[in-house]
Amino acid sequence: MMNILILGAGLVGRPMALDLSKDDSFKLSVSDISENRLHLFNGERFSIIQGDLSDMAFLKKIIIPFDLVLNALPGHLGYQASKTVIEGGKNLVDISFFPEDPFSLEEIAEKMKIKAVIDCGVAPGMSYALVGYVSGILDMTTKVRIYVGGLPVKRELPWEYKAVFSPADVIEEYMRPARIMENGKIVAKEALSDLETMSFKCCGPLEAFNTDGLRSLLKTIPCPDMVEKTLRYPGYSQKIMLLKNSGFFNTETLDIKGQKIVPLDMTCSLLFPQWQLKEGDEDITVMKIVVEGIKRGHKIRYTYNLVDHYDRNDKIHSMARTTGYTATSVIKMISENILKENGLILPEYLGKSKTYIDFMLDYLSKRRVNYSENVEKIL
């Protein structure tokens, strides 16, 4: 029986824990600082560990008895927590999407001879795995486009947006440059730039803009033209840019009538209640992945589409489903010794194996998370 510790009992951590609890081969524990979140696990087959997971001494201590740790902490805590888990010699599956370079963990993971699967969500995560899969099929990959967004079904002004992840992580994405691959070179562009409009049957027109979502793909996939863009309802990026350009995301302290105020802290305090995805709020996840290249002298285009909705029966948000079940599929592969490699494991590495990608897609499909594939020759 595999002994698993889940770090974080939030909107994604809890659905992952519930999914794993359906498998009798797992012994499960959940840790969080919030007594209220942990209280939701009462009556279910979990051990509870309450504590401050930003305290690495505490984390180092509690991971000792476990075989694998699932890191579902916010991004600003994710890297140090993942590093602590790896240094402790424990297998790791991470969905925290920390901004730090995951390759800095590679040497430690290899030294400890454990599996450290990083960025194991929907995007990054399955998006990378599918890009890796197609790249492995093609003789040459010439173009990659990833469009992804989590959207509320009910559109409420002014933002028409809700966050299943930490809202602080969302704002952090708008503050750092978006790295893309352009003419074979990594180019940094301003987040929210290169706006384009796309239409989807599920939700009509959406806007797409640059965010820093390519991460490890910039190093692992040989392709001269790669971009990832975030999808939102039309008009969203203009509102965010207004805040950004007006100084609402600044981190320098201001003195306002004798009060010390950090603009970003004030902005977060105002936005977070408006962006909070509450229980029962229905959401939808939309993703489109396009990979083009050459195979046996022919130009080929692979297109993957995902449209996933809030699960009314289980009351689980779509972004939690699409993110969390990707991670739990990999945990299942580890527990069954299907995933044999040790060291730093990125989703695009998983995609290189048809065995792995088929297992993940089948696991997701059984949970009604379905990716459609279209392959066509192009002129």
Residues in contact with 164: Cβ distance below 8 Å, sequence separation at least 6, in sequence order: 11, 12, 150, 277, 283, 317, 319, 320, 323
Q: 110, 116 in Cβ contact below 8 A?
A: no
What's the token pair of residue 365? 């499909």
Q: Check residue 266 and give its pLDDT.
A: 92
* pLDDT tens figures, 114-149: 999 999 999 999 999 999 999 999 999 999 999 999
What's the token pair of residue 276? 């909070």
105 and 144, same structural domain? no
Residues in contact with 341: Cβ distance below 8 Å, sequence separation at least 6, in sequence order: 115, 349
Q: What is the dihedral of CA 32, 18, 27, 72, to 10 degrees?
A: -40
Query: Which one, of 192, 187, 238, lies nearest residue 211 by Cα?
Result: 192
> Rounded to 5 degrees, what angle do the CA atoms 334, 312, 157 make?
110
Note whether residue 375 is domain-resident.
no
Residues in contact with 180: Cβ distance below 8 Å, sequence separation at least 6, in sequence order: 186, 187, 189, 210, 214, 226, 227, 228
Q: Check residue 277 and give its pLDDT.
A: 83
163 and 137, same structural domain? yes
Q: What is the dihedral of CA 104, 107, 111, 114, to 10 degrees?
A: 60
Look at the chain and count its residues.
Answer: 379
Q: Check residue 280 and give its pLDDT.
A: 81
330 and 238, same structural domain? no
Q: Check residue 254 and give its pLDDT.
A: 95
What's the token pair of residue 5? 């510790």
Q: Check residue 309 and give its pLDDT.
A: 96
109 and 144, same structural domain? no
Note whether residue 376 is domain-resident.
no
262 and 180, same structural domain? yes
108 and 183, same structural domain? no
Neighbours of 243 (CB within 10 A): 16
Note whether residue 379 is domain-resident.
no
338 and 214, same structural domain? no
Mind giving me the DSSP string for 151-191? EESS--TTT---BSS-HHHHHHHHHSPEEEEETTEEEEE-T
Mind giving me the DSSP string for 216-260? THHHHS--S-EEEEEEE-TTHHHHHHHHHHTTTT--S-EEETTEE
Note whether residue 274 is domain-resident.
yes
CA distance 98 to 288: 23
Note whether residue 199 is domain-resident.
yes
Domain that holds residue 211: 126-309
What's the token pair of residue 173? 């994405």
CA distance 367 to 356: 17
77 and 226, same structural domain? no
Q: Assign residue 288 the CATH number of its domain.
A: 3.30.360.10
Q: Check residue 163 and give its pLDDT.
A: 83
305 and 329, same structural domain? no
215 and 344, same structural domain? no
- Per-10-residue mean pLDDT, the chain, length 379: 95 93 95 91 85 97 98 95 98 95 97 98 97 97 97 94 78 92 97 95 94 96 97 96 94 93 92 86 96 97 97 93 98 97 97 97 97 94
Query: Which one, of 164, 76, 83, 167, lies nearest residue 118 by Cα?
Result: 83
Q: Check residue 43 and give its pLDDT.
A: 67
Neighbours of 355 (CB within 10 A): 11
Note whether residue 78 is domain-resident.
yes
- 318 CB-contact burial (10 Å; exposed 0-12 / middle 13-18 / buried 19+): buried
Note whether residue 36 is domain-resident.
yes
Neighbours of 340 (CB within 10 A): 9
Note whether residue 314 is domain-resident.
no
Which of 284, 309, 334 is the C-terminal boundary of a domain?
309
Which of 269, 285, 309 is the C-terminal boundary of a domain?
309
Q: What is the dihedral of CA 47, 169, 361, 144, to 10 degrees?
A: -160
Q: Based on the structure, what is the number of domains in the chain?
A: 2
275 and 228, same structural domain? yes
339 and 221, same structural domain? no
Q: Assign residue 84 the CATH number of its domain.
A: 3.40.50.720
